Amino acid sequence: MENGVHNTVILGTGCAGLTAAIYAARANLAPLVVDGHEPGGQLSITTLVENFPGFPEGIQGPELIENMRKQAARFGAAYMAGHLVSADLSRAPFTLNFGSKTVQTNTLIIASGASARWLGLPSEQALIGHGVSSCATCDGFFFSGKPITVIGGGDSAMEEALFLTRFASKVTLIHRREHFRASKIMLERARLHEKVEFLTDTVVEDVYDVSKKEVTGLKLRNAKTGKVWDFPTSAMFLGIGHNPNARMFTGQLDMDQDGYLKTRDYVFTNVPGVFACGDVQDRRYRQAITAAGSGCAAAMEAEKFLEEHGR
């Protein structure tokens, strides 16, 4: 940091942000890493992670994140609790407003992630990581040979349902409306699959069983008739999308129609010196390992940018 201006600030402490922090710290950039409103990102609410390379027995999500935090700190990364309120990216150094504190930086790495949309039920929140999940690729394997439920009506719900047929004895897709937002081809694929069944006009009112710390069933209600019944299932996967945490950059950084940051050449935004990595710009893969890779790329580009601009 020179004259109170940081070399680089990293927003987010999920896999993307912490990998960026490790690389930036090892390059002697002394990065300031800001936790954001979901410290640790999606992995902090995940239990066993079995698909991150290097852990043959798997590793708990929070433990993986904590290891990354320590690794970055060892090389000189500093952490700050805070949530970005607004930013001025119109001139260098960039100014970041965290409410009670303002920070200036020559480069910015945005790794603020995307938050899964949930139904908002207390029982659902209590069972996240215990049968309630927003990632079929991460958690489908744990429910091999068991009945699984998917909530949603768009392409992501169809993709989750089709992927889960590899493991489940049966996949029931529950949608609150009669008609689906999904593309015709994805809907047709799901309809034709022998393991996929549909429950339309149906709303989830409760998730059982918090006392057992596992999903045993759902309380469902027909939105048209009002009929309420219990539906046995071993897992509930949410396929209702994600909200990228990038609203604070509206009008300054290019975004797609859903608010994901647009990048070119992997991590470059439309503002020189500002880089984006992880789920805030990746709506396709959304995996810990791809987030980590893009975090590495962002840190290397920030280092190169600082060298080229003599900062």
Place of tokens 């091999």: 144
Is position 135 annotated as part of the catalytic site? Answer: yes
Q: Pick the closest to residue 17 from 87, 125, 131, 113 (CA basis).
A: 113
Q: Where would I find the H helices in the chain?
A: 15-26, 61-74, 122-126, 136-139, 155-164, 184-192, 288-308
Active site residue 139: yes
| The one catalytic residue among 15, 138, 277, 296 | 138
Cβ-count burial 191-228 (b if 16+ within 10 Å, e if not):
eeeebbbbbbebbbebbbebeeeebbbbbbbeeeeeee
Measure CA 156 to chain center.
14
CB-based burial, 29-48: b 16+ in 10 Å, e otherwise: bebbbbbbebbbbbbbbbbb
- Starting at the edge strand found earlier in the chain, the sheet holding 228-232 runs 202-208, 217-222, 228-232
User: What separation, in Å, do the N-terminal and C-terminal C-alpha atoms of the chain show?
Assistant: 10
Q: Is 138 a catalytic residue?
A: yes
Which of 35, 139, 155, 282 is catalytic? The answer is: 139
Distances in Å between the alpha carbon of 301 and those of 31, 116, 239, 265, 295?
Answer: 14, 28, 34, 11, 10
Q: CB within 8 A of 270, min separation 6: which ones?
A: 253, 254, 262
The H or E element that residue 135 is part of is none
Q: Would you please indicate which residues are annotated as catalytic (active-site) residues?
A: 135, 138-139
